[in-house]
Structure 1
Amino acid sequence: MRRATPLVPVVAALLVLTACGSEQSGTRQGGAGEAAGPASGAPVTDAPVDGVRITSVTIPSPSPSPKRSYSVQAERLPGDSGISAAYEVTNGGTEALTYEILFHFTTDSGASMANREVTVRDVRPGATARGTVELGVLQRGASAVTRVKVGRVTKVPAAEAPPAPGDCPEGGVRVTVDDGDAAMGLRVVGLHLENCGTSPYSLDGYPELTLLDDGLKPVDGVTVVHGSGGISTGTRFDEPPRPLTLKPGEKAVSGLMWRNTTQFGEPVNVPYVRVRAKAGAALVTVTPHLDLGTTGKLAVRAWAPAPEETDRKMPRT
C-alpha cells in the first residue's frame, strides 16, 4: 500500500527538518517535538485531524493556488511527480505518543490517486513534530493530483508502539503486525515475533489479546477464540499449540482471523489490539483495524515457527 520512491528536492526552500528520517521511503518525519523551521510556501488552511495537519503542498505547476505552495521544478528521478506535502503533528495529550498517519493524494474532486503512510514516533505531550510526505511516482493513467489530505490517524502510547525497523526493544523481542489478506469477506492478519535479543525466548500457546476502541478502551461484545472457532476451515488456525524456543534471530508467527459479515446489530470496528506474546511479556499495541461486522468473534492462532524457520530446520536429502 505504500512505498514511494524518494524525491530529489524540488527547491532548497523546502521545509527544513531537525529530526531523524522516517521509516518509509518517500517520507520524512519530525522527531519527538524538536524545534523545526517554518513550512515554506502559502499555508494550507484545512483543520487538523487528531492533531495532524498539512501546512503546505508542493505541486510543480505554472498555475498557483492561494492554498498551496508551488515550486520551480528541478531535475527529478524518472517518473517522479515532484508532489509533496509538509505536515505537523501536535500531541495534545498527557503522555508521549507514536502516530501512524495515512495521507491521501487526491484530485480537485476528492478522488484518491495514491496513499502514503507515515510513522511519527515519540511525540512528547504538548510538543509538535514536523515532516514531509512525498508522492513519488504516480501510477500511469492516474488523474492529476492537486490536493493532499490527512486520512486515517492512529496513535498509541510510545512505550507500547511496535519498534522501528532494525530496533530491538529492551526485552529482546520484536512483535509486529502485517497488512493482512482479505478474500470473500474473510480477513486474516499475521502477528510476527522475532527474538532480536541475545538469549533464547520460549513460547507455548497463544498470544494474549485485548481489543481496544478509538479511545484505547476495551471493546465489549467480541469473543476471542483459540483456533479457527469455525470461522473458516482449511487454515492453520486449528493446529494445536506446542512449545517453542527461539534462538536469537529466530522468528515465530501467530495470526488473527475474522469475517466482516454485517447482519443485525451495530457493526464493530477495532482499530487497536494490545498484545502480550505470553503471560508477563511486555505490552505491544498494534493497529490492524479489524472490521468485525456483527459476527462478535475473532480467532487467534497459536504461535508457530515462522515459515522460513521451518524451512531452515528441514533435513536436507
Structure 2
Amino acid sequence: MRPATALALCAALASTALLSGCGKETAAGASASPGATCASLAPLPDPAGRTWDNVKVVSGKCGPSGAPSTGYEVTNTDQEPLTFTLTFALVNGFGEAMDTITRTVEAVKPGQTVRRPLDTEDGPGSARAYRARIMKVRAVPADGAPTGDGACPPSGVRITNDRGDAAMGLRVVGIHLANCGTADYELNGYPALRLLGEDREPVTGVKVLHGTTAISTGIGGDAAPRPVTLRPGESASATLAWRNTTTDGDPVDAPYVEVTAKPGAGPVTVTPELDLGTTGRLGVGPWTKTPAGAGAGGERPGQE
C-alpha cells in the first residue's frame, strides 16, 4: 500500500491540473515506490484534431521528493531507421502556452521505442508543472536526415533548411549546404528537389522552376548558375520560393523536400513545410557560395 503522503501529493497535483499519479502499477500489478516511474495526465488534444500514433507524452521519473515530471515516447513503426523531429507546447493550468520545445531523436530502429524526459532549458524536471501538447511530428529516413552540428556524414556535407520568411502570401526558405569534410566539394547549377507529403509520399502536380523570378523578384534566386567550389568549412545556399495562394481546388502541402545537391549525390530530406496553396509552382535558385563569416546556415542570396 502506498504511503498516505504520496496519495495526498497525487491528489494535490491532479486538482491543480498538473501531472497526476504518483506511483505506477508494475507488470506484476504492484505499485512502484517513490523514485520509480510516475504516471502523467493525458496530453492535451491537438486543436486541429490531429493524432500521432507513434509519439505520446508519458511519465518521467519521480525524483527523491516524489514529485513527478513528464517525458515523451517515440516508436518507429516504419521498415527503416528514422530520425524524428518533435515539437511540443507546454501549457499551464490556465490553458496558456508557456513554451515551445523541439526535440530530435536520431536513428530510431524499426520497431524500437525511445523514451526521454521532456525538459526545458532550465534543466531536469523543469517541465513537470505543465501539460504537454504534441504540436508536430516529422520523421525522415535516418541515412538521409540533416545532421545539424553533429558528426559529419560520410558524404562530407551537411544539408539543412532555415526557418524562412513569410509576407503577404510569399514564402522564401533557404537550403544550406556546408562542407564539413576534408576535401573540396564542387557544385554547379540547381539542387534537384522531390516534394513529399505528410506520410513522405510523392507530391504530384507541382512544377519546380529553375529560378525564382516567376514567383517574385528581388529574393535572391534569380542569378545565373555558376560553378561553386567549397573548401572544407565553407558553405553554399539555394533559395526556395513559392506563394500559398488558394483559389479553386484543394491546397497542396509538402512538409518534406528531398534534396539532391548534384548528380550522383545522395538525397537528404529536409522539412521546409511547403504550403503551396493551389499555385502548383515552386521556384528554386542555383547554389550560391555563402559569404565568408556568415556561417554554414548564414544568409541566403538576396537576404539582408
Q: Same fold (TM over 0.5)?
A: yes
* Other-structure match for 1:284: 268
Report deviation, 1:195. Answer: 1.1
* Alignment match, 1:234: 218
Equivalent residues in 2 for 1:20-169, closer than 5 Å: 40-46=37-43, 49-56=52-59, 85-108=70-93, 110-136=95-121, 146-169=130-153
Q: Quick one: which amino acid aligns to residue 129 of structure 1?
A: V
**Superimposed CA distance per residue, residues 17-68 of structure 1 (whole angstroms, 9 cap, x where no aligned partner):** xxxxxxxxxxxxxxxxxxxxx973224445972311111279xxxxxxxxxx
Cα pair 2:148 2:160 within 8 Å, conserved: no
Note the C-alpha offset of 1:310.
8.8
- State the distance in 2 between where 1:51 and 1:71 align: 31
SS in 2 for 1:302: coil
- Cα distance in 2, alignment partners of residues 52 and 39 from structure 1: 22
State how far apart, in whole Å, the 2-side matches of 1:237 and 1:147 are: 43
- CA drift at 1:73: 10
- Deviation of residue 211 (structure 1)? 0.2
The one-letter amino acid paired with 1:100 is T
The one-letter code matched in structure 2 to 1:40 is T
Match of 1:140 in 2: none
Counterpart for residue 9 of structure 1: none
Relative to structure 1, the CA distance from residue 220 to residue 300 in structure 2 (aligned partners, 3 Å threshold; closer, same or farther) is: same
Which residue identity lines up with residue 179 of structure 2 in the other structure? N
Inter-partner Cα distance in structure 2 for 1:246 and 1:283: 19
Q: CA RMSD in A?
A: 2.8
**Separation of aligned partners in 1, 2:253 and 2:182:** 38
Identical positions, percent: 48
Larger radius of gyration: 2
Amino acid in the other structure paired with 1:103: F
Residues 160-199 of structure 1: CA deviation (Å, up to 9, x unaligned): 1111413211011111111111122211111111111111
Counterpart contact for 1:41–1:70, Cα < 8 Å: no
Q: 2:72, 2:294 → 1: CA distance?
A: 44
Which residue number in structure 2 is paired with residue 189 of structure 1? 173
Alignment partner of 1:293 out of 248, 271, 277: 277
**Partners of 1:286 and 1:84 in 2: how far apart?**
32
**SS of the residue 1:93 aligns to:** coil
Other structure's SS at 1:307 match = coil
In structure 2, give the amino acid aligned to 1:253: S
Q: 1:50 to 1:288 in 2, by over 3 A?
A: farther
Following the alignment from structure 1 to structure 2, what is the Cα–Cα distance between the partners of residues 71 and 113? 26
Contact preservation (8 Å) 1:268, 1:294: yes
CA distance in 1, matches of 2:134, 2:261: 33
The yes-or-no answer on 1:202 pairing with 2:186 is: yes
1:213 alignment partner, one of 180, 192, 197:
197
Q: C-alpha offsets along residues 263-289 of structure 1, whole Å, 9 cap, x if unaligned?
A: 111111101000000111111001111
Q: Which SS does the other structure have where 2:70 is aligned?
A: strand
CA distance in 2, matches of 1:310, 1:102: 27
Whole-angstrom distance in 2 between the partners of 1:161 and 1:181: 23
Q: Is the 8 A contact 1:264 1:294 kept in 2?
A: yes
Which secondary structure does the structure 2 equivalent of 1:159 belong to? helix
The CA deviation string for residues 186-244 of structure 1, in whole angstroms up to 9 with x for no partner, is 11111111111111111110000000111212101111101114211112211100001
Could you tell me which amino acid in structure 2 is paired with residue 157 of structure 1?
Answer: P
Q: CA deviation at 1:108?
A: 4.5
Q: In structure 1, what is the Cα distance between the partners aligned to 2:36 and 2:272?
A: 32
Query: How many positions carry a matched residue from both structures?
Result: 251
